[in-house]
């Protein structure tokens, strides 16, 4: 295995069932990656994350290069050993975080200068240094450095940004050190403009990558527009490489994107929501701080075989949230991660059984019913 290896095992319409082999294990796709930005999935432990069914997590180059530093992590045995996560890890190149700094960064053809959001110290990130930092971290899947186009954006600006990202992608590929079980993904950019997305995809295919991400979405364009961009972009990508939709999303986004041929996802939503008292259930989102839960003895979602979902009453979770007890954030995070992994497993089963369209209809009906009031 010279790089990550991807194999499709079934298709159902555009939905795909596959397996991604990496240096640290196998990932069944479609897959959702919990976000461990700073070498931790917030408010939980690696063992708990694994118990939800997650096989791969995401960590972030930008945050880790600032603190504790990629060199330190490398000296301590790499990110897997450092955070006690034995499974595969994908690292974002840091481009999105750097670009979001606005006045704290300055971009040019070579790379980007920026100030740390922590202490204001100066840093420079280039395609070459971003790839090397990810090598030091030991990521199974590394991402090219790109410029994430904001929304809305003028077409001319989007074109200039996309073309720069493609030049950076080529430099990232040249800088990437090939080793068994480790891969590099390119990132399709171009905003909401179909012709720019097409040109970006073609440029990346010419360079050649182990997988292809769709970036620059879930930045305010709305679900319908996002799905339109996916429908225009995904047919341009290779069938035999994984497709990764970055930073997405809500459960309905995942189902709709899988229906359009996406294989991999990441998003902070399940963990961030867990820390802000929101739970995702088969009946839709639940705000556990709502007064209607104060005397509700029911579990959060009895359809899930998760202790946080099954063994604690809504009344107790409501109490924890109102009291701002840390355990409340931990339990809701555990539940949300389990819900997301259960959703992915249900989609994988449906694809394998050739009934994904029926599953998507069932999912929509469940969500439309809403969270039922206690009787």
- Give the active site residues: 92, 266
The answer to whether the CB of 51 falls within 8 A of the CB of 304 is no
**Tokens read off for 267:** 């998003």
Burial class (CB in 10 A: 0-12, 13-18, 19+), 332: buried
Instruction: Fill in the DSSP letter of residue 299.
Output: B
Cα separation, 239 vs 16, in Å, equals 10
The answer to whether the CB of 145 falls within 8 A of the CB of 155 is no
Q: Are strands 243-245 and 211-214 parallel, antiparallel or unpaired?
A: parallel
Cα separation, 309 vs 303, in Å, equals 8
Tell me how crowded residue 177 is: count the other CB atoms within 10 A of its CB.
Answer: 10
Per DSSP, which regions of the chain are E strands? Answer: 5-12, 15-22, 25-29, 31-34, 57-60, 89-92, 105-107, 112-115, 122-125, 141-143, 183-188, 211-214, 243-245, 264-267, 278-281, 284-287
Query: Which of 338, 132, 165, 141 is CA-nearest to residue 242?
Result: 141
């Amino acid at each position: 295995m010279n790089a990550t290896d991807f194999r499709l095992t079934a298709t159902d319409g555009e939905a795909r069932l596959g397996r991604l082999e990496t240096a640290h294990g196998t990932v069944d796709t479609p897959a959702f990656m919990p976000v461990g930005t700073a070498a931790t999935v917030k408010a939980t432990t690696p063992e708990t994350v694994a118990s939800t069914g997650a096989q791969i997590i995401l960590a972030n180059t930008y945050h880790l290069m600032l603190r504790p530093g990629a060199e330190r992590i490398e000296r301590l045995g790499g990110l897997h050993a450092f955070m006690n996560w034995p499974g595969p890890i994908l690292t974002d190149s840091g481009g999105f975080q750097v670009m979001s700094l606005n006045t704290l960064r300055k971009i040019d053809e070579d790379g980007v200068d920026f100030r740390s959001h922590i202490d204001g110290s100066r840093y420079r990130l280039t395609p070459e240094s971003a790839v090397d930092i990810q090598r030091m971290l030991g990521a199974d899947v590394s991402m090219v450095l790109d410029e994430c186009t904001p929304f809305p954006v003028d077409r001319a600006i989007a074109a200039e940004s996309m073309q720069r990202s493609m030049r950076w992608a080529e430099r990232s590929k040249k800088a990437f050190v090939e080793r068994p079980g480790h891969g590099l993904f390119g990132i399709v950019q171009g905003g909401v403009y179909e012709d720019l997305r097409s040109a970006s995809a073609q440029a990346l295919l010419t360079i050649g990558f182990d997988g292809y991400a769709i970036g620059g979405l879930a930045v305010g364009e709305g679900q319908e527009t996002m799905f339109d961009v996916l429908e225009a972009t995904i047919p341009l990508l290779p069938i035999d490489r994984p497709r990764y939709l970055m930073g997405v999303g809500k459960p309905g986004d995942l189902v709709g994107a899988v229906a359009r041929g996406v294989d991999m996802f990441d998003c902070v939503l399940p963990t961030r929501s867990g820390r802000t008292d929101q739970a995702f259930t088969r009946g839709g989102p639940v705000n556990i701080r709502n007064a209607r839960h104060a005397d509700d003895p029911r579990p959060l979602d009895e359809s899930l075989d998760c202790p946080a979902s099954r063994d604690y009453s809504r009344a107790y979770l409501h109490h924890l949230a109102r009291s701002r007890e840390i355990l409340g954030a931990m339990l809701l995070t555990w539940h949300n991660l389990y819900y997301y992994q259960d959703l992915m497993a249900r989609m994988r089963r449906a694809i394998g059984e050739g009934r994904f369209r029926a599953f998507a209809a069932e999912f929509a009906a469940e969500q439309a019913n809403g969270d039922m009031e206690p009787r």
